[in-house]
Amino acid sequence: MEFKLTKEQQLIQSVARDYAEKAIAPLIEEIVEKNEVPDEIIDGLKDLDLFALPISDEYGGAGAGYASYVLAEEQLSRICPGVAVIVSVNNVGAAAMSIFGTEEQKKKYLPMGTTGSGVFSFAFTEPGTGSDPKQITATADRDGDYYVLNATKRFITNSSYEGPIIVFARDTETGHINGYIVDKFCEGYSISEPWKKMGVRGAPLYDVYLKDVKIPKDNILGGPGQGFWILKVAMALGKIGISSIFLGAMLAAYEEGLTYATAKTHRGAPIAKFQAIQMAIADMFMKYEAARWMAYRIGYLADNAQDKGDILKDSAAAKIFITETAIDVARIALNIHGSYGLMEDYKISRVWKDVIFGSQVEGVSHLLKVLIAGEILKG
């Protein structure tokens, strides 16, 4: 066992932290207000190789692995979870393609999400379900050398950016669920008005409509019938992103709570002198430490797993623990702020709106528990 960051990991962590503080933090009001991240931030992340850390350098990624990815996402999210969500979904799509794509697909599409001008999307959720692949209603009709796709996909991140979107749909001939690669904004692709979401601002969500979208028959990811496997891998990796992001939100909450406790005075002394406040500080820190090592560990596990689907149980357990703990910690930090914490002048009010997203995305906590139980009981 070795609970220490390598030099490279420390470097990546500090590059991400610096970038977040210097380039993202000054724009945060604007990001929150418009629910949009300025393009220069995406470009900046790409320049620093922070946009596709775990993707192989052969295709423009940083080839730095998932342990580094967790560290960087934590730091980005500490300042702006929205930016970190954009990065995370990009990496889920890109990783699915790295793992399951043909050489041709990878050469064509991966650079868009690593160094080029696109961002990956990954579209699973539909109005009817966000949890159960069996209920997918999107269809792919084989038509000679093409598939014709029809779908409504809900809550899709990055769907307003150019680049590839991996769409899960049912092959009407075989009944299989497959992932299909579509170029966003091709003919037949359109998106709704953005959803008015209360937190994680900067990463807007849209519904995506595919109306008779025609793609070459080779734009299927992996072999036919591999859709479930791809979903399992993507779920495992997606949870690494979400875990890191809400670890970052937790860190932000902790720091805000601590800063307020030392700055706010009562009768001439900081409120941190009260034991009740000290307990709150210690609890936040303790919870952060527990969450932190769970998150770092799933990065490590992903780096060492042949089949990333194998870490699903661990990444799901970490995801539940971290996202629920982020809510606990934000609650404590808000408490330290008294009524000021409810005012938008204080960052903790924003963190409060953000933290509740963790437990609702990438598998709702209690559903994930059912899934992990299945894995545990299998032995």
Partner 1 sequence: MEFKLTKEQELIQKTARDFADRSIEPAIDHIMKEHAIPQEILDGMKELDLFCLPISEAYGGAGAGYQSYVLALEQIASVSPGVAIVISVNCFGLAALEMFGSEEVKKRYMPGACTGKNIMSIAMTEPEGADPRLVKTTAVREGDEYVLNGTKRFITACGYEGPLVIFARESDTGQICGFVVEKFCEGYSISEPWDKMGLPGTPMYDVYLKDVRIPVGNMLGELNQGFRILKNSIALGKIGISSIFLGTILAAYEECMKYAGERIYLGKPLTQFQYVQGDIVDIAMKYEAARWLAYRLGYLADMNEDKGNIIKDSALTKMFVTNTAVEVARSAINIHGSYGLMENYKVSRIWRDSIFGPQTEGTNALLRSVVAMDILKRSK
Within 13 Å of residue 172, how many CA atoms lie on the same side as its CB? 12
Is 362 among the catalytic positions?
yes
For residues 259-318, which are near ligand FAD according to CB under 6 A?
A: 275
Structure tokens given for 117:
């001008």
Residue 362 touching ligand FAD (CB under 6 A): yes
Q: Which string of x and - marks every residue 36-75 that binds ligand FAD (by CB under 6 A)?
A: ----------------------------------------
Going by the DSSP 8-state scheme, the letter that residue 24 receives in this structure is I
Q: Give residue 184's region: left, alpha or beta (phi > 0; psi -120 to 50).
A: beta
Residue from 31, 79, 96, 156 that binds ligand FAD (CB under 6 A)?
Answer: 156
**Site residue total, ligand FAD (CB under 6 A):** 24
For ligand FAD, give the closer residue by CB, 63 or 194: 194
For 152, list phi and psi in degrees, rounded to 5: -125, 120
Q: Which does 356 bind (CB under 5 to 8 A by kind): ligand FAD, partner 1, none?
A: none
Nearer to ligand FAD by Cβ, of 205 and 301: the residue is 205
Q: Does 361 bind ligand FAD (CB under 6 A)?
A: yes
Residue 265 contacts which entry, ligand FAD, partner 1, none (Cβ below 5-8 A, type-dependent) = none
What is 63-104 written as a DSSP string?
--HHHHHHHHHHHHHHH-HHHHHHHHHHHHHHHHHHHH--HH
Listed in sequence order, the residues at least 6 apart from 337 whose beta carbon sits closer than 8 Å to its beta carbon are 256, 257, 260, 346, 348
> Binding mask 86-115 vs ligand FAD (x if CB under 6 A, - otherwise)?
---x--------------------------
Q: Nearest approach, Cβ of 279 to partner 1 (angstroms)?
A: 5
With beta carbons less than 8 A apart as the criterion, state whether 240 and 69 touch: yes
Short-list 185, 188, 180, 184, CA closest to 216: 180
Q: Which one from 73, 126, 256, 362 is the annotated catalytic residue? A: 362
Cβ nearer to ligand FAD, comparing 12 with 280: 280
Contact between 149 and 182 under an 8 Å Cβ cutoff? The reply is: yes
- Closer to partner 1 by CB, 46 or 297: give it: 297
Dihedral class, residue 348 (left if φ above 0, else alpha if ψ from -120 to 50, else beta) = alpha
As given in the structure block, the two tokens for residue 195 are 């959803």
β-partners of residue 189 are: 210
Nearer to partner 1, 1 or 345 (CB): 1
* Interaction between residue 5 and ligand FAD (CB under 6 A): no
CB of 318 to partner 1, least distance (A): 7
> Which residues does the annotation mark as catalytic?
362
